Amino acid sequence: MSFQNLGLDPRIVHAVQRLRFVDPSPIQAQAIPVILKERDLLASAQTGTGKTAAFLLPLLSKLKEPGNTRAVVLEPTRELAAQVNDALKDFTAFSHLSYCLLHGGVKYEPQLAALKRSPDIIVATPGRFIDHLESGALDLKNVSHLVLDEADRMLDMGFLPDVTRIIDACPKERQTLLFSATLPPAIQNLISWAMKDPEKVQIDIQVSKAETVDHALYPVASDQKFELLLALLDHVDYNGVIVFTRTKVEADKIAHALEETDHSVTTLHSDRSQSQRTKALEKFKSRECEVLIATNIAARGIDIAGVSHVINYDIPENPEDYIHRIGRTGRASTTGDALTLLTGFDEDHLKAIETLLKSEIPRKKLEGFNYKYTALLNPTSAKPIRRRGGSPSRRRK
């Protein structure tokens, strides 16, 4: 299977070739023909599988020539929306189709000016899209393609009422494409209400485990977590490391504490302004900052090349998030390491992750680290360590 014989518009194929995409990825090979046939599509595919191109390439092929707004793509986060917008720039290099990006945290005026030009495709986060809908700036009467990307994430973020309103505002005669890693009941209800006999495509969760990412658990007492993080950062030879925390407060605390050591750090979470978030990503991508401290906002889909290590400072509560987080390293066949700090309180979350992975993650001990407790290093003798704490201890330069 090649891009040429999938039935895509030659100008789109040309753009893809310019990007040096050689063969369609599995999600592309399966989804593109379905979308070109005008069928509704329900797809489950992990980020990093090429799912953005899987929906954009056939959409652009269908739209063909510039006209009025005919496609809407909804994304849960500003970063993902911006990434789809960047992909559109690449994919439309040889066609004249236009697109515009609508998300919060930035001024309305440039977005209003872009909407006046009736872009062929709108990429948006739900909140700002609703604002424009309410102000009458959006003309949706010609929308014939609607993409709901990362639908489960939109649900988790509380966007379901907004998404429902947006779907309702689009014409009934349309093609709907829904991407979701999981299908909780609320999404299933949405599917039966908003979609017409969707064709299903499932790309099994490929935990790049055996291939490009080495996983390891680093058991530690909760009051030694920050110490161990520092020791790991000193010990591993990293080129770009993302440290994931569960909460924004913890992300800030750790960033602050790491800044007091020799590390160049930036943070990404939803309490930061849009310009701070954009700057954080730029600094990390250019390696002006080598450590990015992030909450799950960066776990889904953000395409950052060459991240050598992901460290789960806090084990994710949702096993799917583990896969999304570790998928930030080992991308595009480079190798990466995924390190997870494990305390006695995390055993249930670990069990859920190992069940999803269908294998155990090896436990490792950092040689030379002054462990207070070693019980957790051996899973058979592991007992929860009931201690208070967990906040990063302060270390000075």
Q: Which residues of this protein are in contact with ligand AMP, per CB under 6 A?
A: 21, 24-25, 28, 47-53, 301, 303
| C-alpha Rg value of the chain to the nearest Å | 22
Shortest CB 327 distance to ligand AMP, Å: 9
CB closer to ligand AMP, 221 vs 299: 299
**Helix/strand/coil percentages in the chain, nearest 5:** 40, 15, 45
Shortest CB 172 distance to ligand AMP, Å: 29
Residue 5, token pair as written in the block: 């014989």
DSSP string spanning 216-238? EEEE--GGGHHHHHHHHHHHS--
CB closer to ligand AMP, 226 vs 322: 322
Shortest CB 369 distance to ligand AMP, Å: 35
CB closer to ligand AMP, 67 vs 306: 306
Q: Contact, 295 vs 247, CB < 8 A?
A: yes
Query: In 104-204, where do the E strands start and end?
Result: 121-124, 145-148, 175-179, 199-202
Shortest CB 359 distance to ligand AMP, Å: 24
Shortest CB 29 distance to ligand AMP, Å: 9
CB closer to ligand AMP, 213 vs 376: 213
Shortest CB 56 distance to ligand AMP, Å: 9
For the sheet with 121-124, list strands across it: 99-102, 121-124, 71-74, 145-148, 175-179, 41-44, 199-202
Q: How far is CA 197 from CA 35, 63, 144, in A?
A: 13, 22, 16
CB closer to ligand AMP, 3 vs 244: 3
CB closer to ligand AMP, 50 vs 219: 50
